[in-house]
Amino acid sequence: MKKICLIASLLMTMTLGSTQVFASVPSLNVNAKAALLMEPTTGKILFDQNSHDKLPPASVTKVMTMLLIYEAVADGKIKWDDVVTVSDHAAGMGGSQIFLEPMEQQTVRDLTKCVVVASANDAAVAMGEFIAGSEESFVAMMNEKAKSLGMNDTTFKNACGLDTEGHITSAYDIAVMTRELVTKHPEVHEFSTIWMDTIVHKTAKGNQEFGISNTNRLLKNYSGATGLKTGSTADALYCISATAKRDSLNLISVILGAPNPTTRFQEAMKLLDYGFANYSITLGEPVGTEKGVIKIYKGEKEEVTVAVKNQVNCLVSKGNKSELESKVEMLEALKAPVAQGAKAGEIIYTFEGKEVGRSDLVTTEGTVKADLKDFISRLAKKWLAN
């Protein structure tokens, strides 16, 4: 049985197939209007400061833009090598930009890279228009997705985060959409860990190389930094949704309304330091671990092996040597035909009698219904055995 540390102190709950635990707020003083520290695989919140205050997020807005881009690719709606023609509207975005020109053509991959790395407003709006037909339609998609994720503090008014009346979110909601992006589409870190790169402007005037650099200084100054998005405007001040990983522990640190860029990064690092110093992840059994067999009623195969579908992550605090326990609950049988990956039971993890995570147990192979020949063969084997 694996040795683990005491279950982490938490102050809020987000469900991901596990029971959460509540505890007091750590004594941290964060110099920002709002802040939050989350472990994304479990959704557990380790620090909260005004996390539901509704505030302008500046370019941290683009976490949602990025999420919808990656979802569109995953769903087959768009492809990375699709060519996007830049509109007058997209090219006219102010603020951080890569200076796209009207009618310029860029691939989805390069525009997305510019959104993630360079926080390019023009690239973000161009991608929104490409996915939804117009920025307005894309913003409607953003708000619909926010609602589906339970982001009740959020109203988006644009795709890039420029100051607009009523364009608001919260540290909590930013953590929610960041979690959705990095857990469902971890490939985003391919771009979010780039420090400097180039694209080629392709216009009627010819091709010209253009350098882009990351706005996230943590990539150079913080061990384990993996992203994700900075933002600053006159109304929002200085903001960040920072992601980092050490060993098996991932963290999301959200800062909203810091007074200057240096403080923004310092306070994000303070939360990350607290998380890495006090918590770790204990892993349940790996995906594919076999946990026995299940009988198949009227199947060509009389039984099939079952295995763990998802690896459970258990967030624990450092210092205690208690044990993570597990038990298997299996159905009595499945009726043929049975598909590969059919649910046959669950493995449930507990700590000190409290459930901390569970995973389905699924069949490792399928089987069709038995025919007359199969039944005769089985009867013959039983007769010979006697």
Mean pLDDT, range 132-161, rounded to an integer: 98
pLDDT band at 375 (very low <50, low <70, confident <90, very high): low
Distance CA 88, CA 93 (A): 9
Closest CA to 36 of 181, 165, 179: 179
pTM of the model: 0.85
What's the rounded mean pLDDT across residues 338-356? Answer: 91
314: confidence class by pLDDT, cuts 50, 70, 90: confident
| Mean of the per-residue pLDDT values of the chain | 90
The single-letter code of the amino acid at 54 is: K
pLDDT at 18 over 80: no
Q: Lowest-confidence range among 18-22, 148-152, 165-169, 330-334?
A: 18-22
Q: What is the pLDDT of residue 4?
A: 34
3-state secondary structure of 153: coil
- Of 385 and 59, the structure prediction assigns the larger pLDDT to 59
> What digits encode the pLDDT tens for the residues 193-205?
999 999 999 877 7
Instruction: Give the whole-number percent of the chain exceeding pLDDT 90.
Output: 77
Instruction: Give the Å distances, CA to CA, from 144 to 12, 15, 64, 68, 132.
Output: 24, 20, 11, 11, 13
How high is the pLDDT of residue 49? 96
pLDDT band at 40 (very low <50, low <70, confident <90, very high): very high
- Please tell me which residue, 23 or 345, carries the higher pLDDT value: 345
pLDDT of residue 364: 96
pLDDT tens digit sequence for 159-189? 999 999 999 999 999 999 999 999 999 999 9
In this structure, are strands 325-330 and 279-283 parallel, antiparallel, or unpaired? Answer: unpaired
Model confidence at 378: pLDDT above 80 = no
Contacts of 245 (CB under 8 A, 6+ apart): 224, 226, 251
Nearest-angstrom CA–CA distance, 79 and 375? 50
- Residue-wise DSSP of 67-84: HHHHHHHHTTSS-TT-EE
Active site residues: 59, 62, 119
CA distance 146 to 138: 12
Degrees to nearest 5, angle at CA 117 with 116 and 120:
75
Say how many Å lie between the first and final Cα of the chain, rounded.
42
| Residue range 75-103: mean pLDDT, rounded | 96
